[in-house]
Amino acid sequence: MATDTRVILICSGKGGVGKTTLTANLGISLARQGLTTAVLDADFGLRNLDLLLGLENRIVYTAQEVLEEECRLDQALVKHKQESNLSLLPAGNPRMLDWLKPDDMKRIVEMLKEQFNYVLIDCPAGVEDGFKNAMAASQEAIVVTNPEVSAVRDADRVIGLLNTNSIKPVQLVLNRVRPKMMANQEMLSIDDVTDILALPLLGLVLEDEQVIVSTNRGEPLTLNSLNSPAAKCYLNIAKRLQGEDIPLIDPAEESSGLGAKFRRLMQTKIF
């Protein structure tokens, strides 16, 4: 039984920035560190966490049946095949909408807290009821964003709501970073995003084609492809969550050679 469970909301405002991929990879990484972890898919309308984890065929019950006492919690939890420390709980069934209330989420998270070190809540996109339900059950949050204007703007809305609801700490993950574009100043820099959103940076994730390959297979990168650029980033984020002091990757270092040296020269601030 875990006493000091951390309940972390993973949210973004905008859809498609990488919430679910981050949730899946953090879940695997934390489980690998020996921490019992539950990932709760709060996006029951359009759930996808099961698919990324390769567990889509093993879901029998959801949190809804647990709350209605049609089954026990351990019957609804889907244990991961390779990482037995990781379990998935879908909040609900895509066919049934409109049953979930903030109190329901609180109740289910309280139950999960009795068994797990970490509860990661994969938040639906948007700032409406789905987000508010998920937030009601959370203590801290990770905001995922991309270095793009629309993603940063939506992240800003979400951060405002998290602040007014006393969720803390709120940390930032900057996803889909392209070092070459940043060096050419054709992409918002890491400093630009952290300055604008005024959040501590928990980590950045490099753009990586392998992410698509891993979702095709239903095997998160941190499970089998530890050498891929994004997998290293996810592992670092999981370690930092555990309080380890891991330095951030410098995107400028990621592109090497003469071209990169030239691009760095061009970034020199003159005045």
Partner 1 sequence: MAMTLRDIINKLLRRQPASASTARERLQLVLAHDRSDLSTELLDQMRKEILEVVAKYVEIDVDEGAVSLETEDRMTALVANLPIKRTMTGQIKLKEPKNESEENSQQTAGTDQNS
Binding site for partner 1 (CB under 8 A): 148-149, 152-153, 156-157, 159-161, 163-164, 182, 184-189, 192, 196-198, 265-271
The least distance separating partner 1 from the CB of residue 151, rounded to whole angstroms, comes to: 10
The least distance separating partner 1 from the CB of residue 164, rounded to whole angstroms, comes to: 6
Buried b (16+ CB within 10 A) or exposed e, 145-164: bbbeeebbebbbebbebbee
The least distance separating partner 1 from the CB of residue 145, rounded to whole angstroms, comes to: 11
Q: Could you tell me which of 59, 139, 64 has the C-alpha nearest to residue 104?
A: 64
Report the Cα–Cα distance between both ends of the chain, in Å, rounded: 57
Q: Which is nearer to partner 1, 11 or 108 (CB)?
A: 11
The least distance separating partner 1 from the CB of residue 271, rounded to whole angstroms, comes to: 6
Q: For Cα atoms 17, 140, 147, give the angle at the middle one, nearest 5 degrees.
A: 25
- Tokens 């006393």 sit on residue: 166
* Residue 220: C-alpha distances to residues 61, 92, 262 (Å): 23, 22, 35
The least distance separating partner 1 from the CB of residue 132, rounded to whole angstroms, comes to: 13
**Distance between CA atoms of residues 16 and 19, nearest Å:** 7
Q: Which is nearer to partner 1, 160 or 169 (CB)?
A: 160
The least distance separating partner 1 from the CB of residue 261, rounded to whole angstroms, comes to: 13
* Residue 196: C-alpha distances to residues 70, 167, 226, 268 (Å): 47, 19, 32, 21
- Tokens 């400028």 sit on residue: 252
- Beta-carbon contacts of 136 under 8 Å, excluding residues fewer than 6 positions away, are 102, 103, 105, 106
The least distance separating partner 1 from the CB of residue 159, rounded to whole angstroms, comes to: 8
Q: Which is nearer to partner 1, 73 or 152 (CB)?
A: 152
Q: Which is nearer to partner 1, 49 or 162 (CB)?
A: 162
**Distance between CA atoms of residues 102 and 133, nearest Å:** 4
Instruction: Give me 29's structure tokens.
Output: 């990484």
Instruction: Give me 50's structure tokens.
Output: 């099961």
Q: Which is nearer to partner 1, 80 or 176 (CB)?
A: 176
Q: Which is nearer to partner 1, 75 or 163 (CB)?
A: 163
Q: Which is nearer to partner 1, 2 or 201 (CB)?
A: 201
